[in-house]
Amino acid sequence: MLKLVIIGAGGCVGAILRYLVAGMVHQLAQASAFPVGTLTVNVVGCLLIGIGGGLMESRQLFSPEWRAFLFVGGLGSFTTFSTFGLETFNLAKDGQWLSSCGNVGISLALGLVAVLAGHMLSRLI
């Protein structure tokens, strides 16, 4: 139960940071139609999970509780794209190139199909 509370606390922080960072970037970009706030959040999240994943791997820097707070909760709610990036990178790093590329292609294709399906279903509700 404590792990769920830790993840929830990290999720709260990550969601608030996502809102603030994306909003600030969107304001700075002013009337841009491109979702630059979301792009920024995704890239920053990938950078942070790359740093954290590298530190975990090379220095075992984070306790299980900190990993749950920072990675599952914090970055998980800041952007799930960062987790996707780390998992895809790890597959490639382990020489599983087909799985790595498949993860990218399948995630993109199924994600877009799911958005389309959800949009179509919303018209039936």
Is 76 annotated as a binding-site member?
Answer: yes
What whole-number distance in Å separates Cα of residue 115 and Cα of residue 110? Answer: 9
What whole-number distance in Å separates Cα of residue 46 and Cα of residue 50? Answer: 6
Is 79 annotated as a binding-site member?
Answer: yes
63: phi then psi, degrees, rounded to nearest 5: -70, 165
48: which 2 tokens?
A: 């942070």
Residues contributing to the annotated binding site for Na(+): 76, 79
Residues contributing to the annotated binding site: 76, 79
